[in-house]
């Protein structure tokens, strides 16, 4: 196989792969800010988990309870406003559900830094909420039960590290349940506790559950292919298992898991249900509430309280960005929600290098440039061998062209004569393909690092490049990349086939168009890599063609 044909096939394959995995901007759609968002609320589906298979104790639903849907329609709730240094949250007194979460440190876009990204909201177009409650034989408030609150707004003071938001409910039998949200300064992880006081004359038996409910279509502005949006479950034997909305439609999850967690995730952000103690076995489930509403949840082990006793059940919620270092400390495998794809084993050390260099540069663009230089140094000798092979091909190019003219009607004889020249000159016709083979996995890995790493979201480089995770707004880098690709082609031997030569000459233009839609950080890597490759290749060609100049 001719080197040029092989390079052509690889290049076209790379283009097709990149089209299939191309960039999208999930945060491109601007959700309405808190003061403008719609007040329309989706009527609640019952959404109560089946407790018959839950671990710990055996419970039966109370047949005297009114239908959950009717409760949701007839008992209105009030909104509580909660503000910390990282959150603006709205909690509904109906069930104590989290109906809205804005992430203060993550603006919707660079152009509107005053508008925080809205991760959870009960807006019908972006419905995504967190619910929870208690399940028991009696006296168990669910996410359809009305609580009472002492205040309508809560704020974390500058001199405080913890903010408590208590919601109280009392049954007709005088059983008192206080649902307490405990928020921490600088943290996206918070506690959800149920403190129960059994003032009745009978034992109280119950379990706590939490669930994340969202719609399938969020209306995100996408290009080509979406990043994963859906449910994820984790267990010791499989730390990261996607459960798509279609999977939830077809089959309900019902499984007891120790040291696990469940989440709903989307591009850059997620919400996760995490047990307070990893060793406890929780029951995990999924629900298809209607054609376009789904839930994933977890039920705690059971708690039994004798008359006059009190006790509590605590779990944790993470609602925030996919911060890899923070997620890894919270729960085992939670950092895997930053999904780097098939080349994760390259992407993870690549991000580690970027992150370490960023500590010194404080600029992700310069970090990408320095990592590119390090990669080039790492593969310098292999690249040099490949470029020498290309230079030798360039040296014998006139003889190959002469053979093409001589045997233009005899393809078999042409290939035989070419192989004789390769053997005599000790040339490997495939030797020049190694740089491309090396670059493809690194290129795809860096693509997913830029696509999935929230640390690089809206990262500023220099001048006009204000977001390395988005396309170059002025298309300067794609054009420079196309020019550098054209220069590289001129340093390589021209294809013997005129048709191939025309196709190859068109590739820089085609790649320029495609790269115009890719993250500018990825194009920056490719430009720097091309420039270093051109310098290395030119030096090798110069030394081979002018050996006297090396003296």
Q: Dihedral sign for Cα 181, 184, 188, 191, please.
A: negative
State the angle between helix axes of 434-452 and 380-395 in degrees (0 to 180), rounded to the nearest 10.
130
CA-to-CA distance for 272 and 293, rounded, in angstroms? Answer: 17
3-state secondary structure of 161: coil
Give mean pLDDT, residues 398-404: 76
**When comparing pLDDT for 283 and 496, which is higher?**
283
Q: What is the pLDDT of residue 4?
A: 43
Residue 118: strand pairing partners: 102
Tell me the H-state helices in 396-497.
397-406, 411-425, 434-452, 476-491
Three state DSSP letters for 198-249? CCCCCCEEEEEEEEEEEECCCCCCCCCCCCCCEEEEEECCEEEEEECHHHHH
State the angle between helix axes of 434-452 and 344-361 in degrees (0 to 180), rounded to the nearest 10.
70
Q: β-strands 79-83, 153-155: how paired?
A: parallel
Q: Which of the 8 DSSP states describes residue 401?
A: H
Condensed to tens digits (0 to 9), the pLDDT of residues 115-153 reads 999 999 999 888 999 999 999 877 899 999 999 999 999
Kind and range of the H or E run holding 459: none
CA distances from residue 82 to 86, 93, 165, 171, 283 in whole angstroms, order as listed: 11, 13, 8, 26, 30
Q: Which of the 8 DSSP states describes residue 149?
A: -
pLDDT higher than threshold 90 for residue 414: no
Q: What is the pLDDT of residue 185?
A: 96
Q: Which long-range contacts (CB under 8 A, 24 or more apart) does 534-537 make?
A: 534/484, 534/487, 534/488, 534/491, 536/376, 536/380, 536/383, 536/384, 536/387, 537/387, 537/390, 537/391, 537/488, 537/491
DSSP letters, 281-349, are EEEEEEEEEETTEEEEEEEPPPEEE-TT-EEEEEEEEEEEE--HHHHHHHSTTGGGGS--GGGHHHHHH
Question: Chain-wide mean pLDDT for the chain?
Answer: 80
pLDDT bin (cut points 50, 70, 90) of residue 449 is: confident
CA-to-CA distance for 426 and 389, rounded, in angstroms? Answer: 9
Instruction: Let me know how long the chain is.
Output: 551
Contacts of 551 (CB under 8 A, 6+ apart): none
pLDDT higher than threshold 90 for residue 263: yes
Q: What is the pLDDT of residue 193?
A: 96
Condensed to tens digits (0 to 9), the pLDDT of residues 294-341 reads 999 999 999 999 998 999 999 999 999 999 989 999 999 999 999 988
Q: Which domains does the chain have, with CATH numbers?
A: 33-153+161-217+225-330 (2.70.98.90), 346-550 (no CATH)
Beta carbons of 86 and 269 less than 8 angstroms apart: no
Q: What is the pLDDT of residue 396?
A: 75
**When comparing pLDDT for 428 and 522, which is higher?**
522
Beta carbons of 309 and 201 less than 8 angstroms apart: no
**When comparing pLDDT for 155 and 66, which is higher?**
155
Q: What is the pLDDT of residue 543?
A: 74
CA-to-CA distance for 503 and 366, rounded, in angstroms? Answer: 34
Q: What is the pLDDT of residue 315?
A: 95
Half-sphere exposure of 88 (CA within 13 A, CB side): 13
Q: Would the pTM of this model clear 0.85, i.e. be above it?
A: no
∠ CA(141), CA(253), CA(189), 5° rounding? Answer: 60
pLDDT bin (cut points 50, 70, 90) of residue 49 is: low
CA distances from residue 295 to 134, 193, 269 in whole angstroms, order as listed: 17, 21, 17
**When comparing pLDDT for 215 and 431, which is higher?**
215
CA-to-CA distance for 60 and 5, rounded, in angstroms? Answer: 70
Q: What is the largest CA-CA distance in the chain?
A: 105
Q: What is the pLDDT of residue 436?
A: 66
- The CA dihedral of 106, 107, 108, 114, to the nearest 10 degrees, is 160
Condensed to tens digits (0 to 9), the pLDDT of residues 204-249 reads 999 999 999 999 865 444 444 468 899 999 999 999 999 999 999 9
CA-to-CA distance for 356 and 348, rounded, in angstroms? Answer: 12
CA-to-CA distance for 491 and 508, rounded, in angstroms? Answer: 14
């Amino acid at each position: 196989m001719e080197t040029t044909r092989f390079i052509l096939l690889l290049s076209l394959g790379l283009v097709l792969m990149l089209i299939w995995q191309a960039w999208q901007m999930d945060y491109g759609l601007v959700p309405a800010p808190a003061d403008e968002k719609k007040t329309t609320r989706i009527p609640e589906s019952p959404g109560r988990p089946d407790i018959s298979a839950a671990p710990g104790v055996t419970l039966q639903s109370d047949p005297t309870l009114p239908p959950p849907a009717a409760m949701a329609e007839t008992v209105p709730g009030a909104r509580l406003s909660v503000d910390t240094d990282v959150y603006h949250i709205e909690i509904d007194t109906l069930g104590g559900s989290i109906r809205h979460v804005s992430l203060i440190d993550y603006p919707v876009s660079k152009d509107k830094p005053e508008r925080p990204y809205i991760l959870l909201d009960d807006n019908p177009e972006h419905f995504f909420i967190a619910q929870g409650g208690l399940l028991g034989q009696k006296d168990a408030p669910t996410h359809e039960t009305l609580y009472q609150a002492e205040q309508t707004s809560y704020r974390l003071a500058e001199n405080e590290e913890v903010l408590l938001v208590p919601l109280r409910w009392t049954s007709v039998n005088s059983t008192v349940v206080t649902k307490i949200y405990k928020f921490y300064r600088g943290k996206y992880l918070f506690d959800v506790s149920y403190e129960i006081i059994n003032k009745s004359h009978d034992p109280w038996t119950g379990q706590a559950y939490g669930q994340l409910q969202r719609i399938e279509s969020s209306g995100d502005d996408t290009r080509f292919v979406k990043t994963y949006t859906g449910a994820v479950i984790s267990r010791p034997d499989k730390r990261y298992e996607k459960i798509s909305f279609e999977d939830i439609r077809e089959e309900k999850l019902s499984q007891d898991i120790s040291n696990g967690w469940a989440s709903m995730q989307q591009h850059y952000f997620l919400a996760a249900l995490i047990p307070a103690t990893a060793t406890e076995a929780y029951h995990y489930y999924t629900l298809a509430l209607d054609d376009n509403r789904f839930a994933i949840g977890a039920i705690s082990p059971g708690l039994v309280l004798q008359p006059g006793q009190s006790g509590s059940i605590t779990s944790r919620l993470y609602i925030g960005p996919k911060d890899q270092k923070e997620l890894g400390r919270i729960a085992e495998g939670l950092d895997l929600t930053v999904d780097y794809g098939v080349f994760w084993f390259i992407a993870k050390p690549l991000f580690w290098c970027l992150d370490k260099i960023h500590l010194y540069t404080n600029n992700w663009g310069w970090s990408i440039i320095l990592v590119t230089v390090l990669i080039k140094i790492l593969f310098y000798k292999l690249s040099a061998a490949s470029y020498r092979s290309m230079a030798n091909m360039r040296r014998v190019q006139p003889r190959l062209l002469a053979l093409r003219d001589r045997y233009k009607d005899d393809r078999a004889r042409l290939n035989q004569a070419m192989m004789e020249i390769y053997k005599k000159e000790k040339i490997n016709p495939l030797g020049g393909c190694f740089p491309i083979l090396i670059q493809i996995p690194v290129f795809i890995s860096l693509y997913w690092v830029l696509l999935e790493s929230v640390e690089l979201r809206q990262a500023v480089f220099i001048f006009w490049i204000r977001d390395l995770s988005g396309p170059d707004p002025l298309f300067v880098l794609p054009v420079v990349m196309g020019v550098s690709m054209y220069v590289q082609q001129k340093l390589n031997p021209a294809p013997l086939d005129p048709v191939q030569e025309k196709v190859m000459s068109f590739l820089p233009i085609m790649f320029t168009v495609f790269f115009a839609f890719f993250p500018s950080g990825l194009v920056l890597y490719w430009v720097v890599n091309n420039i270093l490759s051109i310098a290395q290749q030119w030096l090798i060609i110069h030394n081979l063609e002018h050996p006297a100049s090396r003296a």
